[in-house]
Amino acid sequence: MRGRFGFRVPGSEFTTAANIGGLRNTCNQPLRLVLYLGVHIVTYMRISVTDRCNERCAYCMPHDVTVEWLPRGEILTYEEILRVARVATSLGVTKFRVTGGEPLVRRNVAEFIGELSKLPGVTDIGLSTNGTLLASLASRLRAAGVTKFNISLDTLDADLYRELTGTGRLADCFAGIEAAIETGAQVKLNCVLMKDKNDGELVSLVEFAAGKRVTIRFIELMPVSTSEVLTDDNFLSIGHARRIIEQRYELVSADVKLGNGPAVYYRAEGLPIHVGFIGAMTNLHFCDTCNKVRLTADGKLRPCLGAHMEFDLKPVLRAPDSTDARLRDVFVQTIRNKPEQHEFRNNYIPGRKMVAIGG
Interface residues with ligand SAM (CB under 6 A)?
A: 53, 59-60, 99-100, 102, 128-130, 152, 190, 192, 219, 221-222, 224, 229, 354, 359
In the complex with ligand SAM, the residue whose CB is nearer, 35 or 236, is 236
* 36 Cβ contact partners less than 8 Å away, ≥ 6 residues apart: 3, 7, 9, 14, 15, 16, 20, 42, 335
In the complex with ligand SF4, the residue whose CB is nearer, 99 or 186, is 99
CA distances from 193 to 26, 220, 234, 353 (A): 43, 5, 9, 19
Question: Taking a C-beta distance cutoff of 8 angstroms, is the pair 272, 208 a contact?
Answer: no
Least gap, CB of 208 to ligand SAM (angstroms): 16
221 binds, among ligand SF4, ligand SAM, none (CB under 5 to 8 A by kind): ligand SAM
Angle made by CA atoms 93, 99, 104, in degrees to the nearest 5: 130
Least gap, CB of 53 to ligand SAM (angstroms): 6
* Whole-number Å distance between alpha carbons of 213 and 97: 22
Least gap, CB of 18 to ligand SF4 (angstroms): 39
In the complex with ligand SF4, the residue whose CB is nearer, 38 or 261, is 261
Binding mask 90-119 for ligand SF4 (x = CB under 6 A): ----------xxx-----------------
229 binds, among ligand SAM, ligand SF4, none (CB under 5 to 8 A by kind): ligand SAM
> Which of residues 91, 98, 355, 357 is near ligand SF4 by CB under 6 A?
355
> Which of residues 33, 35, 47, 57 is near ligand SF4 by CB under 6 A?
57
Q: Which residue is nearest to ligand SAM (CB)?
A: 359
In the complex with ligand SF4, the residue whose CB is nearer, 154 or 207, is 154
* Whole-number Å distance between alpha carbons of 319 and 316: 5
Order across the sheet with 36-37: list the strands: 14-15, 36-37, 40-41
CA distances from 201 to 157, 218, 231, 244, 248 (A): 9, 12, 20, 10, 12
Quick one: CA dihedral 69, 55, 303, 186, positive or negative?
negative
State the number of binding residues for ligand SF4 (CB under 6 A): 13
Least gap, CB of 229 to ligand SF4 (angstroms): 11
* 133 Cβ contact partners less than 8 Å away, ≥ 6 residues apart: 54, 102, 104, 105, 172, 176
Q: What is the DSSP letter of 228?
A: G
> Which of residues 9, 16, 56, 67 is near ligand SF4 by CB under 6 A?
56
Burial of 117 (0-12, 13-18, 19+ CB in 10 A): middle
What are 97's strand-pairing partners?
Answer: 46, 126
Nearest in space to 176 (alpha carbons), one of 137, 141, 135: 135
* Whole-number Å distance between alpha carbons of 359 and 342: 15
Site for ligand SF4 in 130-189 (CB under 6 A): 130, 152
356 binds, among ligand SF4, ligand SAM, none (CB under 5 to 8 A by kind): none
Q: Say whether residue 350 binds ligand SF4 (CB under 6 A).
A: no
Nearest in space to 52 (alpha carbons), one of 98, 101, 97, 104: 101
224 binds, among ligand SAM, ligand SF4, none (CB under 5 to 8 A by kind): ligand SAM
219 binds, among ligand SF4, ligand SAM, none (CB under 5 to 8 A by kind): ligand SAM
> Which of residues 17, 33, 49, 53 is near ligand SF4 by CB under 6 A?
53
* Whole-number Å distance between alpha carbons of 105 and 108: 9
- Which positions touch ligand SF4 (CB under 6 A)? 53, 55-57, 60-61, 100-102, 130, 152, 354-355
